[in-house]
Amino acid sequence: MATRKQFDDYMMPVYNPANFIPSKAKGSIVWDDKKKKYIDFASGIAVTSLGHCYPPLVKVLNEQSKKIWHLSNAMTNAPALDLAKKLCKLTFAEKVFFANSGAEAMEAAVKTARKYANTHYGKHKNEIVAFADAFHGRTMMTIALNGSERMTAGFGPMPSGIKHHPYNEIKGLEKVITKKTAAVVLELVQGEAGIIKAKKNFLAKVKKLCKEKNVLIILDEVQSGVGRTGTLFAYEQFNIKPDIVTTAKGLGNGFPIGAILTKDHIAESMQVGAHGTTFGGNPLACSVALEVINSMSKKTVLKNVLRKEKLFIKKLKEINKNLDCFERINTAGLWIGCKLKITETINLDTVLQQCYKNGLMVLKANNNTIRIAPSLIIEDKLIKDGLNIMEKSIAQLQRPRV
Ligand SMILES: Cc1ncc(COP(=O)(O)O)c(C=O)c1O
């Protein structure tokens, strides 16, 4: 039987995984290798949005696995073409590029924006503006975009041409978004920072400056996209027309895939050979993602996200009334941040461990926020049961046994 010690013995120590090893899952329930059961409020960090082993996805994956697994980009394939067509039909996009992860989609977005700016306005227009406390991934370009010393320390020199500005801060924006800016990179909801939404007046100013200065708007919807906030993409709720959107996580429900969505006139700057990847557009990944999009774009699924969000809010407020444990509860659909009141016995790690002990998987955001990102079709009963476990866990920590 695999053990946690094996991780320490053989894996590069960039993660600190839980002590239990999940081995089976169905819907929003996960079992570890000792058959202990957990309610899943994590979804592998907002990935398994249709739950684990969702039968229609298992079916298409099985069927595709008997047809064809992989082709080079010297060929195209039906699942990739069908997925691209579907994404264009359901969004602002006219062209799609497939990658394998969120960070890769961000890399493709930045390359595309710079190439577009270079082609249309000249090579001086190459700066990228990003925001403080953002999270765009772990590659060199994306850690440079993240704008936190914590993620770049020791990895320099960083890619150049990136400017940062505080999120939701209007003051001084005109000094960073200039004629030299190729693109602004933005999350409409900052997930890693604790589910923080972009403010209306901040977005309005970003939009105005981008229009005046011919700057592209890249929206990072790697975590917010594919139904998480109650619409297929979050931008539908924010009165903003993006030039490029990145997506990944929920798109494959756990089968690795990322994508950028963009317009014809922008995609035209990327000629044959300008970008590429071995696995992007893989038929297995694309057939799964097509089924995800078909399921996720149904009105009933998206409506239920907003209904279930209300269930969470109601119960979380009750927990807070009983235990006075949260400073704030932020939500954006089924994406929830509970900012903890830190005490001697309560911090993010103790809460996480106690929840695990009691059979609940939750996530961290920032260093003080419990992040909840369950399957978008989690049963109402499991929402109640899971939140009861969270309440019990926090109560136990408030009254540690002597
Ligand atoms: C908003 C956002 N962008 C980009 C990424 C990077 O995605 P990946 O881990 O697939 O590279 C993440 C991952 O958490 C994310 O949340």
Residue 401 has pLDDT above 80, yes or no: no
Q: What are the tens digits of pLDDT across the range 111-152?
A: 999 999 999 999 999 999 999 999 999 999 999 999 888 999
In this structure, are residues 195 and 331 in contact, taking their beta carbons and an 8 Å threshold? Answer: yes
**Who lines ligand 1 at CB under 6 A?**
45, 101-103, 106, 135-137, 187, 191, 220, 222-223, 248
289 and 390 housed in the same domain: no
Q: Whose CA is nearest to atom 8 of ligand 1?
A: 102
292 and 306 housed in the same domain: no
Residue 360 has pLDDT above 90, yes or no: yes
| The pLDDT value given to residue 399 | 83
Average pLDDT over residues 278-304: 95
- Atom number of ligand 1 nearest to Cα 138: 11
- Find the CATH number of the domain harbouring 266: 3.40.640.10
Amino acid residing at 315: K
| The pLDDT value given to residue 147 | 80
| The pLDDT value given to residue 1 | 86
CA 248 – ligand 1 centroid, Å: 8
Domain encompassing residue 95: 68-296
Average pLDDT over residues 218-225: 98
CA 291 – ligand 1 centroid, Å: 22
Q: Cα–chain-centroid distance for residue 58?
A: 22
Q: What are the tens digits of pLDDT across the range 198-220?
A: 999 999 999 999 999 999 999 99
Q: What are the tens digits of pLDDT across the range 309-326?
A: 999 999 999 999 999 999
83 and 229 housed in the same domain: yes
Q: Which of 296, 330, 359 is the last residue of a domain?
A: 296
Question: Rg for the chain (alpha carbons), in Å?
Answer: 21
CA 249 – ligand 1 centroid, Å: 7
Q: Which of 296, 331, 362 is the last residue of a domain?
A: 296
- Atom number of ligand 1 nearest to Cα 249: 10
Domain count, the chain: 2
73 and 28 housed in the same domain: no
User: Where is pLDDT greater, at 149 or 400?
Assistant: 149
| The pLDDT value given to residue 393 | 98
Which among 136, 229, 255 is the best mutation to test ligand 1's pocket, defined by most ligand atoms within 8 Å of the CB?
136
Domain assignment present for 175: yes
258 and 370 housed in the same domain: no
Q: Whose CA is nearest to atom 7 of ligand 1?
A: 102
Q: What are the tens digits of pLDDT across the range 17-40?
A: 999 999 999 999 999 999 999 999
pTM reported for the whole predicted model: 0.97
Instruction: Give me the percent of the chain exceeding a pLDDT of 90.
Output: 96
CA 246 – ligand 1 centroid, Å: 10
- Atom number of ligand 1 nearest to Cα 248: 10
CA 223 – ligand 1 centroid, Å: 6
In DSSP terms, 245 is beta-bridged to: 219, 261
147 and 259 housed in the same domain: yes
97 and 36 housed in the same domain: no
What are the residues whose beta carbons fall under 8 Å from the beta carbon of 395, sequence distance 6 or more?
322, 323
- Find the CATH number of the domain harbouring 350: 3.90.1150.10
Q: Which of 296, 331, 349 is the last residue of a domain?
A: 296
16 and 84 housed in the same domain: no
Domain assignment present for 393: yes
Domain assignment present for 58: no
176 and 255 housed in the same domain: yes
Domain assignment present for 242: yes
38 and 158 housed in the same domain: no
Domain assignment present for 317: yes
What are the residues whose beta carbons fall under 8 Å from the beta carbon of 373, sequence distance 6 or more?
41, 42, 43, 45, 46, 191, 223, 228, 334, 335, 336, 363
Domain assignment present for 199: yes
CA 142 – ligand 1 centroid, Å: 9
39 and 116 housed in the same domain: no
CA 218 – ligand 1 centroid, Å: 14
287 and 160 housed in the same domain: yes
CA 137 – ligand 1 centroid, Å: 5
- Atom number of ligand 1 nearest to Cα 103: 11
Domain assignment present for 63: no
Residue 402 has pLDDT above 60, yes or no: no
Residue 281 phi, psi dihedral angles, 5° rounding: 80, 15
Angle (deg, nearest 10), helices 380-398 and 299-323 = 20
Q: Whose CA is nearest to atom 16 of ligand 1?
A: 223
Summary mean pLDDT of the chain: 97
Confidence bin at 75 (pLDDT 50/70/90): very high
Q: What are the tens digits of pLDDT across the range 247-289?
A: 999 999 999 999 999 999 999 999 999 999 999 999 999 999 9
Domain assignment present for 62: no
